[in-house]
Structure 1
């Protein structure tokens, strides 16, 4: 009896893992008609145009492929710059754990890609009671920058 349940659980996990990103509170989720690779390239270009650096990149797609497992494209790209990093640190050492702010490029079941990210104001909200209104203002500024990056990248 355990084997069929385990098999069913694995099947459901695989099916759910391949679902397209859905809207969620505190996030920006924008499906596009672009391919996964094109959206990644466009996010990087848009970040640079908005004076944000690509600080990190990670995703399981390439490693899974090397293991013989095909999964949809999946890339997390961390964006930030030193000016904001220093400003966050001056307001809250603890809040710096949230930098870089990440954007998420996922390949949809139809071959297109979606750009998603947690709004910086959502990311930094837990630290505002400790850090004060200046952190909320900084996060709102980052909301505007990330919205501009997303708008440019998804065009």
Structure 2
């Protein structure tokens, strides 16, 4: 399941819906990302994307994860538009027969979403300064463990 949307969502309700009826999975792991404030003071984060690129790129990540860890299912929800500190920005959930696979697949999807999903993020400070957000060296290093 994949959804890229501007609308807010309830992570608990999404996780319950995702988990319902999963009879072949012994483990469900989820991660929810929240827009965090910055030391300079974040007014908002603006996230842009090109739907014709974003959906297929994330779906390919999910397919890779499903094959690599024999997932029963995966869920990715990512918001776009203007988000303020404290708002939920994204969620990943995976279901697998065993917990190690579910944890690994969730981390894999998170690492790839953070560094490779075609989203463009701009931080807007409370003083009006705007800064485009790029993947950090730490984000890039995290990807190396999946090669």
* TM-score normalized by the length of structure 2: 0.33
Greater share of residues in strand: 2
Greater share of residues in helix: 1
Choose 1 or 2 for highest CA Rg.
1
